[in-house]
Chain A
C-alpha cells in the first residue's frame, strides 16, 4: 500500500497570511504514460463531508477559489492557501488514487492565529 504522510499535523495562520501543507507518498504517484500525478486534496469542515479542492496534484476543481493551489510531483506535494480566510478553517487531506487502496493522508488541521 502507498502510505501518505502530511506535515504539519496542525497549523495556525493569521488572516490574510499564507498556509502551506505538505504531503508525501511512500512511492511515486506519477504515471509516466500520461505524466499525471494521481493526487487529490480535500477540505473537510466540521460536520461536513469532504470537498474536492485539487486533482492531478495541481488542477483546481471548478468553483474553488484561486487562493488554493497545489504543486509537486512524484512523491512530494504541497497545498498552499495564499491568503487565509476565516472560512478556510478546516482539516485538509491528501489522497493518492494511483494504486488501490486509495489511501488518504492523516490530515492537517488549519486554524486562525
Chain B
C-alpha cells in the first residue's frame, strides 16, 4: 500500500525558514517523480514544485522560485521541501504527491494528508 506522510509544518514568523519532509512507502520511491502542492485555507490547489525520478531535474512555481528547494533522499525514501524567506501568503496545507510515472509530466496518483504551514507574526 502506497503511503505518504508529511511532517515539519508549524507556525513560523515572516522571513523564517522551515523544512517539510514526506516519508514514502509501498512503492519504489526512486522510480517516480514527486511533487509538492499547496492549498491556502479555503482556497484551491496550487502546484509548488516537482523533482523528477533521479532528482537531477527540479522545477518550481514562480511564486516560490529562489525561496524553496525541493530535494529527495532515495536511500531514505523521503522527499523534502526547504522553505526560506517565508511570507504570510505561503500559509497553506502542503501536500506531497506521487507522480504516476518517472517522468515529471504525469498526473499525481497518491497524495499525503498534508501538513499545515502558518506564517504569521
Interface residues of A (CB under 8 A from B): 1, 38, 40, 42, 44, 49-52, 55, 61, 91, 93, 95, 97-98, 100-107
Number of A-B contacts (CB under 8 A): 60
**Residues in B neighbouring A61, C-beta threshold 8 A:** 109
**Residues in A neighbouring B29, C-beta threshold 8 A:** none
Segment touching A, from B9-17, B45-53, B79-87: B45-53
Q: A95 near B109 (CB under 8 angstroms)?
A: no
Q: A50 near B107 (CB under 8 angstroms)?
A: no
Q: Is the interface of A mostly helix, strand, loop or mixed?
A: loop
Q: Answer whether A103 and B100 are a contact pair too, CB < 8 Å, given A49-B112, A52-B107.
A: no
**Residues in B neighbouring A101, C-beta threshold 8 A:** 47, 59-62
Q: Answer whether A97 and B44 are a contact pair too, CB < 8 Å, given A49-B95, A49-B114, A55-B100.
A: no
